[in-house]
Amino acid sequence: MPSAPTTSSPPRDEPLAAVRRQSGARAVYDLLRARIIDGTLAADARLTEPVLSSQLGVSRTPVREALRLLQAEALVVEQPTGGVRVAPLAVTDLHRVYDVRARLEGLLARDACERARPADVQHLARLVDLMDAVRDHEDEVLRIGAQFHGEIESLADNRWCSELLRQIRGHVDRYRSLSARERVGTTDHVDEHRAVARAIASGDPDAAERSMREHIERSAAMAAKALGEAPPPPPG
């Protein structure tokens, strides 16, 4: 069977080997979801059960179930003619997703500020310092940034916000990787995270929420730039 360029093999064989060992829908879902988020499976790439089944070395049943889960998460969309494609990356969707994210994570930062202890504040500061040390490495910046946001979410202990964020996490992560690429080699990402950490350390919930929302709005602007949107004109 001819190979399809839109479903190319991953750069490492460990995830693929795991899928073949488990042969379950969840393993297939996890692998395909990761490929969609990191861009290995490009926006609008066509996905078919026979090709994926052949490439992953599993039957069509777990592939079908995995695609159903991805469709429920809106990471793939069904085509009128049958089959599915990876959901497109669109500036309009980006702004909507990030507006929701800014509101939710702003609330989490507010709650975290009210609950943070000195040890928590120190831990956030250390994460920012570590991010500064690796700011030229996109993958590490993304990893530490996700850890920073996860620590704030844990501190906030707001299960409703956490659940709503979980529902849009895949979409956030797709656009987040675009934003990170625009920031590589700059200190912007570090400066914004440091501002959030300092606002939480100050014990001012309003400042913590504002700093978080400004950080996420800046990330949205960077991702939109990566998608070709012109930056807004300077004020005045």
* Architecture in CATH for domain 91-226: Up-down Bundle (1.20)
Joined together, the tokens standing for residue 203 give 């014990």
Q: For residue 13, is pLDDT > 80?
A: no
Asked: is 5-86 a CATH 1.10.10.10 domain? The reply is yes
Across 138-152, 198-212, 221-235, the highest mean pLDDT is recorded for 198-212
pLDDT > 90: percent of the chain = 67
pLDDT per position as a tens digit, 58-80: 989 999 999 999 999 999 999 88
pLDDT per position as a tens digit, 174-190: 988 788 777 777 788 89
Q: What 3-state DSSP class applies to 85?
A: strand
Assess whether the region 5-86 and the region 91-226 belong to the same CATH fold: no
Domain ranges of the chain: 5-86, 91-226
What does the alpha-carbon distance between residue 38 and residue 198 come to, in Å, rounded to a whole number?
30
Instruction: For residue 39, give the DSSP letter.
Output: T
Residue owning tokens 């777990």: 62
What does the alpha-carbon distance between residue 84 and residue 114 come to, in Å, rounded to a whole number?
45
Joined together, the tokens standing for residue 180 give 């990170």
What does the alpha-carbon distance between residue 186 and residue 235 come to, in Å, rounded to a whole number?
23
Is the whole-model pTM more than 0.85? Answer: no
Q: For residue 204, is pLDDT > 60?
A: yes
Cα 14 to Cα 5, 19, 142, distances in angstroms: 20, 9, 21
Q: For residue 5, is pLDDT > 80?
A: no
Closest CA to 109 of 121, 94, 95: 121
